[in-house]
Amino acid sequence: MIRFMQTSATFKKYALTAILLVICVAMTWYLVPAFTGQGMGITTNNSVVATVAGQEVTPEAVRKEAQRQLEQQFGGKANAQARALLPFFANRAAQSLIEQKVLLVEANRLGLRATDEDVRDFLQHQLGSELFPGGKFVGEAAYEDFASARGFTVVQLEQVIKDQIRLQKLEALITGPASVTDSEVRQAFEKQNTKVKFDYAVIKKDDILKSLHPTDAELQAYYDRNKQTYVNSIPEKRQLKYVVLDNARMLAQTQVTQQDLEAYYDQHRDEYRVPEQVNVRHILIKTPLPGADGKVDQKAMDAAQAKAEDVLKQVKAGGNFAELAKKYSDDPGSAKEGGSLGWIGRGRTVPEFEKAAFSLPKGGTSDLVKSSYGFHIIHVDDKQDAHMKSQAEVKDQIEPIIKQQKAAQAAQKAADDLVSQARGEGLEKAAAAKGLQVITTDFVTSRDTLPGIGNDQQFMAAAFAQEKGAPPDLAGLHSGFAVYQVLAVKPPATPTFAEIRDRVETEFKNERAGQLLTQKTQELSDRAKADHDLKKAAKEAGAQVKSSDFVAPDGQVPDIGSMTGPASVAFTLKPGEISGPIDNGNTGAVLSVVDRQAPTDQDFAAKKDGIRENLIQQKQQVLFGIFLSSLHDKMQKSGEIKINQKELDLLTKARSEEE
């Protein structure tokens, strides 16, 4: 996929809108390869979650998409608490996959297609940072690795991209008619840019809290009234003993032999095959595209050829190829690099270019090569025949892999041996025989941090599932293994009032302060409106009065917070009008507008185009959402969408205690 494949004007208009992020879920590039869907239920072989016009949505696809959404929501690798939400994300993932197939079926019905040129454009312009770092193609081998790392062959990856492009074309077709009037643009401008200045009286929840001094009788009554919320609020606790086997220690003791290297190399020879490649530069002189009648402007074509021939003469006369490329080439991506395209393999360029590039010797320069993009002058900087990398070349690459594998195997064996011996002789004796330390804890909860283990929820899940007095067992850790045993269990308990009096007092005061804040703010508003005087009402209520500067709809005001929240009422009031109560949870406020500042025509002239574009995008998203909903309902009514509710329930049910 090389740089001179230019983006067509037609393709550029297919915007990646927010709604398409939901439906383009087939591109599972950032999924964890080892993800197994733990905690999402067990599915039967050959089962499907749904079919859309005969196309299946599989449980595995749902699990992978759920994991992708989870990691997108929580960033990178989700922690144990986040993974508990997988059943919820599984339901969303299933709906996303169904919607994707619904739209692809419609795209097929409408005859929407994606060409190889579209795919090349997508790879360069959407994934350029990974496949075209610095504007240079990474090469055939790296491209194949890119696809393989995401669970695809190159062919499969490009088919996924074609599906996404077809969805983009469908979106462009549906949302194309969206438009806005000048009146709508002006109205939106006024709403976004009008500023107001106001006085406001503030009552603070913290001040109310300081004035509250509940009696024991009030607190006891609150505890009794809310006792259900305290049931089993003291979590289960367990006393554990365990021995840690650290992978790092095992890794430091592991040696890699020459025999290990030879065996691994022999088993993975296919990974070290290097395809035939050429390192090339080119100068592109673009030719005119056909007009609406399908004909090409012959004069423009002749002019392009004449220019290309002139540049070729300069090259043949000893001109610096890189400098001539910077000066004349119409391929902006490679021109600034002196025409360099880097290493390319077969099948990555148009046939005419490939044939010429691979037929030239190292250091050779072609005559004019005509392709659908124009006239190319190709220079080969270097060539590489297909070959197998030697063991010496890949030694530094494979030695750490072998070491990790051997250390993991040794750690597993040591852990198995220890748990077997511990079950026969006891954990203390087995650990002493291997020079390992037994750690005994106080009573801990499943969220506590343990010596030598840390906060490892994988271990805690195992330890809190084992029965008291059961034989020693083995659990995996992020950094190795632990052999553990449960010594004692304190089940969940409901605390007495005396045990949680401080908590009850805090909750009582917060609830009461919230009620009083709402009541006092309402009274302040009522009195201010009755007297038409906010300052007088505030003085009587003991509230502090402040004044704002001119503030925009997206602004912030101390003690009020964001003007996009309840305080946005200020933009609907005329000067002198008083608002109702504004409660943001920690403060209550009432405001009186002092002045309004309308935006200028000059502001409108500067911002109207951006506002129009935003309004159009909003309408496009609404149009596409309506279209998708209607299409989904239609296909569901016709029986083209079939949901396997039993399989969906298995994926979306909550994790069991054992899990």
DSSP conformational letter for 293? T
Out of 228-242, 247-261, 440-454, which region has the weakest mean confidence (pLDDT)? 247-261
3-state DSSP percent of the chain in helix, strand and coil, to 5: 50, 15, 30
Buried b (16+ CB within 10 A) or exposed e, 573-586: beeeebbebbbbee
Identify the helix (H) or strand (E) that includes residue 625: helix 601-637
Identify the helix (H) or strand (E) that includes residue 59: helix 59-74
Out of 113-127, 230-244, 251-265, 393-407, which region has the weakest mean confidence (pLDDT)? 113-127
The predicted-structure confidence for 206-246, as pLDDT tens digits, reads as follows: 999 999 999 999 999 999 999 999 999 999 999 999 999 98
Query: Would the pLDDT of 154 be above 90?
Result: no
Query: Would the pLDDT of 77 be above 80?
Result: no
Out of 37-46, 266-275, 356-365, which region has the weakest mean confidence (pLDDT)? 37-46
**Tokens (6 digits) for 451:** 């010596």
Architecture per CATH, domain 276-385, reads as Roll (3.10)
Residue 2, pLDDT score:
37
Residue 139, pLDDT score:
77
Number of C-beta neighbours around residue 109 at 10 A: 9
Mean pLDDT of the chain: 86
pLDDT band at 193 (very low <50, low <70, confident <90, very high): very high
Kindly give the pairing relationship between strand 480-490 and strand 237-246: antiparallel
3-state secondary structure of 387: strand
Mean pLDDT confidence for 510-515: 96
* pLDDT more than 70, % of the chain: 89
User: Which residue has better confidence, 212 or 137?
Assistant: 212
Amino acid at 262: E
Query: Would the pLDDT of 652 be above 50?
Result: yes
Residue 360, pLDDT score:
95
Q: Among 204, 76, 143, which residue's Cα sits nearest to residue 524?
A: 204
Helices (H) and strands (E) counted in the chain, each on its own, are 26, 19
**Tokens (6 digits) for 147:** 């696809």
Buried b (16+ CB within 10 A) or exposed e, 15-24: eeeebbeebb
3-state secondary structure of 445: coil
Q: Among 134, 497, 195, 481, which residue's Cα sits nearest to residue 338?
A: 134
The predicted-structure confidence for 273-289, as pLDDT tens digits, reads as follows: 888 899 999 999 998 87
Mean pLDDT confidence for 598-614: 93
Pick the CATH number of 9-178+630-652 from 1.10.4030, 3.30.70, 1.10.3470, 1.20.120: 1.10.4030
Query: Would the pLDDT of 21 be above 50?
Result: no
Query: Would the pLDDT of 611 be above 70?
Result: yes
pLDDT band at 531 (very low <50, low <70, confident <90, very high): very high
d(CA 458, CA 476): 7
DSSP letters, 310-368, are HHHHHHHTT--HHHHHHHH-S-HHHHTTTTEEEEEETTSS-HHHHHHHHHSPTT-B---
Question: Is residue 657 within 8 Å of 70, Cβ to Cβ?
Answer: no
Phi and psi for 7 in degrees, rounded to 5? Answer: -80, 125
Residue 80, pLDDT score:
55
d(CA 357, CA 278): 7
Question: Is residue 170 within 8 Å of 112, Cβ to Cβ?
Answer: yes
Query: Would the pLDDT of 18 be above 60?
Result: no
The predicted-structure confidence for 86-103, as pLDDT tens digits, reads as follows: 778 888 999 999 999 999
Longest dimension (CA), the chain: 103
Query: Would the pLDDT of 510 be above 90?
Result: yes
Q: Among 496, 471, 473, 493, which residue's Cα sits nearest to residue 483?
A: 473
Residue 22 CB partners (closer than 8 Å, separation 6+)? 96, 99
Number of C-beta neighbours around residue 103 at 10 A: 25
Query: Would the pLDDT of 165 be above 60?
Result: yes
CB-based contacts of 301-308 (< 8 A; 24+ apart in sequence): 304/374, 304/375, 305/368, 305/375, 308/283, 308/368, 308/374, 308/375, 308/377
Mean pLDDT confidence for 125-147: 77
User: Which residue has better confidence, 358 or 76?
Assistant: 358
Query: Does CATH place domain 195-205+499-597 in 3.10.50?
Result: yes
Query: Would the pLDDT of 548 be above 90?
Result: yes
Residue 498, pLDDT score:
94
**Angle (nearest 5°) at CA 457 between 449 and 86:** 145
Kindly give the pairing relationship between strand 340-345 and strand 369-371: unpaired
The predicted-structure confidence for 612-626, as pLDDT tens digits, reads as follows: 999 999 999 999 999
pLDDT band at 28 (very low <50, low <70, confident <90, very high): very low
d(CA 157, CA 146): 10
User: Which residue has better confidence, 582 or 22?
Assistant: 582
Query: Would the pLDDT of 76 be above 80?
Result: no
pLDDT band at 404 (very low <50, low <70, confident <90, very high): confident
Query: Would the pLDDT of 3 be above 50?
Result: no
Residue 32, pLDDT score:
27
Phi and psi for 201 in degrees, rounded to 5? Answer: -100, 135
DSSP H helical segments within 426-469, as ranges?
Answer: 427-433, 457-463
Query: Would the pLDDT of 595 be above 50?
Result: yes
The answer to whether 9-178+630-652 and 195-205+499-597 have equal CATH topology is: no
Question: Is residue 3 within 8 Å of 128, Cβ to Cβ?
Answer: no
Query: Would the pLDDT of 52 be above 60?
Result: yes
Q: Where are the beta strands (DSSP E) in 491-529?
A: none
Phi and psi for 110 in degrees, rounded to 5? Answer: -85, 0
Mean pLDDT confidence for 417-439: 94
Rounded to the nearest angstrom, the gap between the alpha carbon of residue 314 and the centroid of all alpha carbons in its chain is 50
* pLDDT more than 90, % of the chain: 60
Query: Would the pLDDT of 20 be above 70?
Result: no
Question: Does this model's pTM top 0.75?
Answer: no
Domain boundaries, the chain: 9-178+630-652, 195-205+499-597, 237-260+396-490, 276-385
Question: Is residue 482 within 8 Å of 243, Cβ to Cβ?
Answer: yes
**Tokens (6 digits) for 353:** 């270019």
Query: Would the pLDDT of 191 be above 70?
Result: yes
